[in-house]
Amino acid sequence: MALHYDLAVEEGIMTNAIKARSVPLTGLGLLALRWVIGLVFIMHGGQKLFVKGLPTVAGFLGTVGITPPAFWAFVLTVAELAGGVLLIVGAFTRFAALSLGITMVVAIASVLWTKGFFLPGYEFALTLLGASIALTLTGPGRYAVDRWLGLEV
């Protein structure tokens, strides 16, 4: 009996040690995810605004049946730029991630699905959708403005 009890105690100690280290590591993992995904969305939003231009984006959205295209081009560009920045700093993270996830659902459903899984299909958008869902469900983690403001625990 003593041997079984000692193993159980040791197992409890190990479990507590792992849990103690997993909280900061989880926070760092979510920080890395936010930075990478945020950067990708900022770059895509910046491309729409500064390279292609909103009229070109609106023209494309009109060709795939999204109306009114100028309004949605603006909303999409703001969502990507602002949402990316919010993810990086961890402010209003769940809202930003949900908004970005919705843009990916629309992109997949309206443009990418018929192109198949592999690029130029929905492979990349699905990856961004998965990351957005994860951040919507988990929140920003320990290293975020949301946490410092008391919006997340």
What pLDDT, in 10s, does the model give residues 113-148?
A: 999 999 999 999 999 999 999 999 999 999 999 999
Cβ–Cβ < 8 Å for 83, 60: no
Which of 150, 151, 147, 149 is CA-nearest to residue 27? Answer: 147
Distances (CA, A) of 35 to 29, 83, 93, 115, 126: 10, 11, 12, 29, 18
Helix axes 2-46, 69-89, angle to 10 degrees: 140
The confidence score (pLDDT) of residue 18 equals 76
CB atoms within 10 A of CB 88: 21
* pLDDT band per the 50, 70, 90 thresholds, residue 104: very high
Kindly report, residue by residue over 20-74, the tens digit of the pLDDT: 777 778 999 999 999 999 999 999 999 999 999 999 999 999 999 999 999 999 9
Residue with tokens 């690029």: 119
Cβ–Cβ < 8 Å for 59, 52: no
Q: Which helix (H) or strand (E) holds 71?
A: helix 69-89
The confidence score (pLDDT) of residue 20 equals 76
Q: Cα 117 vs. chain centroid, distance in angstroms?
A: 20
Domains of the chain, residue spans: 28-148
Cα dihedral 141, 96, 38, 129 in deg (nearest 10):
100
Give the pair of three-digit tokens for residue 70.
């100028």
Cβ–Cβ < 8 Å for 130, 144: no
Tally the residues of the chain.
153
CA distance 7 to 49: 61
